Amino acid sequence: MPDRHESHTPTAPTRIAVVGGGANDEHEVSLASAAAVTRAVRALGFDAVPLTIDRTGSWRHTDGAALSPADAVAVLTSCRAAFPVLHGVHGEDGAVAGFLTMIGVPVVGSPVRAGALGMDKWVTKTVAEAVGVRTAPGVLIRAGDEIGQVPLRPPFVVKPTTGGSSNGVTVVRTPDAYAAAVALARAAGTDVLAEAFITGREIDIAVFRDDTGALRTGATLEIGVADGDVFGRTEKYDGTARFTVPAALSATDEAAIEHAARTLYDTLGCAGVARFDFFLTDHGAVLNEVNTAPGFTEQSQVPRMFAAVGLDYVGLVRALVQAAERAV
């Protein structure tokens, strides 16, 4: 195995594993992120080693050939670092970070704790409120709980506590729509969160810690969503989403959002890049959710945010790999 601290130069390519796919409903989204990261890794002069976790949870090599777990470990441990871009359960939730850490491969991204905490929206709310970051009033509905009466005054949002890409999310506008909304959320997860519908501008910000230990933030990004609507799965991936980067914010609002994101990044124990999604209301910022493994194609929100502050996609990938290697 090569010395993990030797110089990175195009004339001495370094093997970087890029892991995509996943056994969940964000499989295709993850593959797109992994393909983009692979291109960037190669543009940096590194030897990219793409690996896929298929929909059954099995490992596959870049040519689609099946890999046994032992073979996958052998490939991964031959690499200087691994850049997982697995969204959703069995990936973003800390599972892949724990696995890679246990076999001694530096991870580009958050460790187990941050992935697990950030993946569970109810736990994220609890942590955020404890450190002074506002969230919407909400009610947790466990897998075995009866649906019962409507827990909040409509309109409110029902969603699974895990998962992403707006899968299983419904805006409940009348009480008789509640039961169907819970059923849809349970089909995409186990526990369900009902939250008050927040009216405000959707503002996102991304944060990562670089190889000097400094926290770096991208420009804020505003998502154009009609009043009373949500940023759904279709809009996220069909190219119709309207992003404004940087968002037109007052200095006070921008500082508050950045402070909240930095606080949560450190409190959750994040590494790599994480995206923090807020609603900006007349009474300040309200946290929507945290993404410790956000979408990562060249056109995804996070790369757009950093491009707006002068760090292009390939430069962002370089910075994340360098930070991961300095952390070991």
* Angle in degrees, CA 212, 216, 219, rounded to 5: 160
Amino acid at the residue 153: R
- On the question of pLDDT at 204 being above 80, the answer is yes
* Secondary structure letter of residue 12 according to DSSP: B
List pLDDT tens digits, range 169-203. Answer: 999 999 999 999 999 999 888 899 999 999 999 99
Task: Provide the pLDDT for residue 6.
Answer: 40
Query: Which pLDDT score, from 0 to 100, does residue 5 have?
Result: 40
Q: Is the pLDDT assigned to residue 3 strictly greater than 60? A: no
**How confident is the model at residue 239, as a pLDDT?**
54
* C-alpha span between 321 and 45 (Å, rounded): 13
pLDDT at 271: 97
The predicted pLDDT at position 24 comes to 87
319: confidence class by pLDDT, cuts 50, 70, 90 = very high
Contact 143, 123 (CB under 8 A): no
pLDDT at 228: 53
Residues contacting residue 267 through CB under 8 Å, at least 6 positions apart: 127, 131
CA–CA separation, 181 vs 189, rounded Å? 12
Q: 5-9, 62-66, 99-103, 301-305: which has the minimum mean pLDDT? A: 5-9
State yes or no: pLDDT of 11 exceeds 50: no
More confident residue, 210 or 149: 210
Mean pLDDT of the 5-19 span:
61
Domains of the chain: 15-109 (3.40.50.20), 117-135+198-326 (3.30.470.20), 138-196 (3.30.1490.20)
Exposed, middle or buried: residue 243 (CB in 10 Å: 0-12, 13-18, 19+)?
middle
Is the predicted pLDDT of residue 322 greater than 70, yes or no?
A: yes
Q: Tens of pLDDT along 71-102?
A: 999 999 999 999 999 998 888 999 999 999 99
Looking at residue 144, its pLDDT comes to 85
225 pLDDT band (50/70/90 cuts)? low
pLDDT higher than 50, residue 12 = no
